[in-house]
Amino acid sequence: ASLLFGILAEKMQRTTMLCSLTSRMLSTIRVPGALLVGHIPALRPSSFQMRGMAFMKNPKESHNPLKKELQHPSKFVENKRRLQRRDFILVHQYEEQREQFINEIAMPMQEKRLLTVSPDLGIVFTNYDLIWFKLQELYRFEGGNESLLSEEIEDFGRYLPRGHELVGCCFQDPGAAKEPTELQAVADGLHTLLLTFQGQEVACEPVTGFLHDDHGMFQVYVRWTLTEEQSEALRSSSDAMLKLAEKKGGMLAETSIPSRTLEEIVTDL
């Protein structure tokens, strides 16, 4: 009974964090420098029923991707390690099937990539599809502003895994009672997130400093760089974990990486 209660409690904690994260993502306004987790521009709470964008299987068939089979953006582009203007679509094309994309691709993918590291610290492993979605939403919100999209494509290219890499957006929801000391320490290099698997250990490096938007969302982007051998070991791992540790060596928190999350994130390697 106690084991079952523990499993249910962990599931409820994960669901609560996802709902909080999703609510923030769908209701806040974009601030320069922050990423997907905290702010998709100005959408109403009813956005849980929204969807998004359909991609055709063969992009050479037509320049209009509507009314084709739904695809992940990364399946539609030549290079998922790089953001390019030609990989984004016109606002009116995106609008027609936006709800479907959000419901069937963006939200399920984000949920799989979400981990609770500690009561105050969560992480979403980012990839091409989630960053594409963030920028396509921004492009829509700004009414098709080409110059802004070009600037953000260059900026957000830093958050793409570039091969044998994982990139994560660490965050603390503004609803948390504590100050974001853990997150600040990660940004300052005093704490690190250790990716452990099959007896190996890979520490992250901050990609950004400490980010804080007007709505109270705290974020830091981090990157893990693996060797080819480590990538292969992680793909076949059954004991992968993420650990929050002091650089001096003290362990602060840890969480196992569920198999469905691992199966999702190893595709970034």
| Residue 74, pLDDT above cutoff 60 | yes
- What angle, 0 to 180 degrees and rounded to 10, lies between the N-to-C axes of helices 128-141 and 146-156? 160
* Higher pLDDT among residues 125 and 52, named by residue: 125
> pLDDT per residue over 237-265, tens digit each?
999 999 999 988 899 999 999 999 999 99
Q: How far is CA 197 from CA 145, 148, 234, in A?
A: 44, 40, 6
The DSSP-derived string for 62-93 is -S--TTS----HHHHSS-TTS--GGGS--HHH
| Residue 128, pLDDT above cutoff 70 | yes
- State the Cα angle at 18 between 14 and 19, rounded to 5°: 120
pLDDT of residue 187: 92
Neighbours of 266 (CB within 10 A): 16
Q: SS3 breakdown of the chain: % helix, strand, coil, rounded to 5? A: 45, 20, 35
pTM: 0.76
Cβ burial 16-47 (10 Å sphere, 16+ → b, else e): ebbeebbebbbbbebeeebbbbbbbeebeeeb
| Residue 162, pLDDT above cutoff 50 | yes
Q: Which residues contact 57 (CB under 8 A, 6 or more apart)?
A: 68, 69, 71, 75
The confidence band for 1, taking pLDDT boundaries of 50, 70 and 90, is: very low
| Residue 266, pLDDT above cutoff 90 | yes
Cβ pair 267, 131 in contact under 8 A: no
pLDDT of residue 172: 83
pLDDT > 90 in the chain, percent: 51
pLDDT of residue 217: 76
pLDDT of residue 212: 74
| Strand order, beta sheet including 200-203 | 200-203, 191-197, 241-246, 251-256
pLDDT of residue 214: 60
Average pLDDT over the chain, rounded to an integer: 77
| Residue 56, pLDDT above cutoff 80 | no
pLDDT of residue 175: 66
Cβ pair 221, 169 in contact under 8 A: yes
> pLDDT per residue over 100-111, tens digit each?
889 999 999 999
Backbone angles phi, psi at 209, to 5 degrees: -80, -165
CA distance 7 to 77: 40
Which element (helix H / strand E) includes 259?
Answer: helix 259-265
